[in-house]
Amino acid sequence: MSIDRVLSKLHINGMTPLVGYDGQVAEPSLPIGLRAKVEGNQGYENGDSLTVFWNDIKVFEHSITEVEIPNGVLFQVEKRFITLGDVDAYYMIISSNGNSVRSPFLKLKVNPAA
């Protein structure tokens, strides 16, 4: 992976538009949390390390598989990490040779469940 590669922002399922943010979501009512995705076809390779951060707290770690290279990585942000209010979420990819690249921050608002 090229260290100067630009990654896409993290995607949160059910995110809707909100002025001043990349989006908003309702606090999940189920313990499984929020479904999220790191898009595929971003230059990462089989065996590269993916780490996702939610307000600078590590919430997910994973080794990229061959099938995820084109399809992306689906995962859950567990409810225990989700708090109401403003969130800055991002991920890092570290290649097998040690090069790393960080995604842009996703500015998200988590609202109380309806």
d(CA 64, CA 2): 16
d(CA 7, CA 94): 12
What is the set of domains in the chain, with CATH numbers? 11-109 (2.60.40)
d(CA 28, CA 42): 29
Residues 4-37: pLDDT tens digits?
A: 568 999 999 999 999 999 999 999 877 789 999 9
Residues 12-21: pLDDT tens digits?
A: 999 999 999 9
Q: Is the pTM of this model over 0.85?
A: yes
User: Can you read off the two tokens belonging to residue 88?
Assistant: 């800055």
Cβ atoms within 10 Å of 6's Cβ, excluding its own:
10
β-bridge mates for residue 90, sequence order? 53
Residues 60-109: pLDDT tens digits?
A: 999 999 999 999 999 999 999 999 999 999 999 999 889 999 999 999 99
pLDDT of amino acid 3: 45
pLDDT of amino acid 29: 79
Query: Rounded to 5 degrees, what are φ and ψ at 71?
Result: -95, -20
d(CA 68, CA 49): 12
What is the distance, to the nearest Å, from the Cα of residue 54 to the centroid of all Cα atoms in its chain? 8
